[in-house]
Amino acid sequence: MKIRVSWLVLGVSLAVVAACSSQKEEAPVQEQLTLHEVMKDEVDVHADDLWDISNPALSDNAHLDAALMDDERWAQVEQKATALQQAALKLASLDPIVVVKPGVKIADEGVPYGDTGAEVQANVDKDPQKLRDFANALAVHAGDIASAAQRRDTERAGLLIGQLDAVCEDCHLEYWYPSQKVLLEEYGISR
C-alpha cells in the first residue's frame, strides 16, 4: 500500500515535469520579422549604401570608371553587395510572409495607386512563391555584383549595378503597387 502511494506521487511529479518541459518547447522562439522590416531595415539600406559608394565612379554610359575605383571602394562594393545578397535571401526565406504588424503603415499608402499594407498582403497571398523567386533573383544579382567586384571587373560590375533598380522594380510592380503596372500597360510603356 505504501509503495503504491509513492508510485502515484512519483507519477504525478513526472507528469508535472513533462508538462513543464513541453511548455518550454512551445514558447515562441523569436518573433518573425515582417517583410516591411526586412525591406526597410536591410534590403533598402544595403542597396542605398551600394549606390552611394558606386555612383561617384559611375560614368554616363553606366560603366564604372576604373580610375575612380581604388581598393577601398572595390572592397566596399563587395561588402555591401554581399550584405544585400544576405538580406534578399532572408526575404526569400520568410514563411509565412507577413507584410506588416497591425497598425504599421508602409510608404506611399494613401497616395493614388499606392497600396496599403493589407492590400500588399493580399497581393502576396495570391502568389507567395513568386515573391520568393523575385527575392532569390535579387540575391543572385547582388551575388554577381560581389563577384564582379572581387574580380575588379569594371564592365560587369557597372552593368549589374545599373540594372539593380530594375530588379527591385520587377517585384514592386507585382506586389507593392500592381495598379501602376496596369497604368504602365495602358500607356503602352513596357518594361
Pick one of 42, 43, 64, 82: the residue that binds ligand HEC (CB under 6 A). Answer: 43
> What is the C-alpha separation between 43 and 24, in angstroms, rounded?
34
The distance of closest approach from Cβ of residue 159 to ligand HEC in the complex, given in angstroms and rounded to an integer, is 16
Contacts of 5 (CB under 8 A, 6+ apart): none
Question: Shortest Cβ distance from residue 132 to ligand HEC (Å)?
Answer: 7
Q: Is 64 in the site for ligand HEC (CB under 6 A)?
A: no
36 or 74: CB nearest ligand HEC? 36
Q: Which of 53, 94, 120, 149 binds ligand HEC (CB under 6 A)?
A: 120
Sequence-separated contacts (24+) of 160-168 with Cβ below 8 Å: 161/50, 161/51, 161/54, 161/58, 161/62, 161/64, 161/77, 162/58, 162/62, 164/47, 164/50, 164/51, 166/191, 167/137, 167/138, 167/141, 168/47, 168/138
Smallest gap from Cβ 28 to ligand HEC, in A, equals 23
Tell me the closest approach of the beta carbon of residue 51 to ligand HEC, in angstroms.
8
Residue 90 binds ligand HEC, judged by CB under 6 A: no
- Amino acid identity of 5? V
Min separation Cβ 43 and ligand HEC, Å = 5
Residue environment code for 39-49, b if the CB has 16+ CB neighbours within 10 A, otherwise e: beebbeebbeb
Instruction: Choose the binding region for ligand HEC from 17-25, 75-83, 146-154, 163-171 (rule: CB under 6 A).
Output: 163-171
Comparing CA positions, the residue from 4, 181, 35 lying closest to residue 99 is: 35
Which residues from 166-185 bind ligand HEC, rule CB under 6 A?
Answer: 168, 171-172, 175-176
Q: Residue 160's CB: how many other CB atoms inside 10 A?
A: 23
The residue from 53, 57, 106, 161 that contacts ligand HEC (CB under 6 A) is 106
Interface contacts to ligand HEC, rule CB under 6 A = 35-36, 39-40, 43-44, 47, 91, 99, 106-107, 120, 131, 134-135, 138, 164, 168, 171-172, 175-176
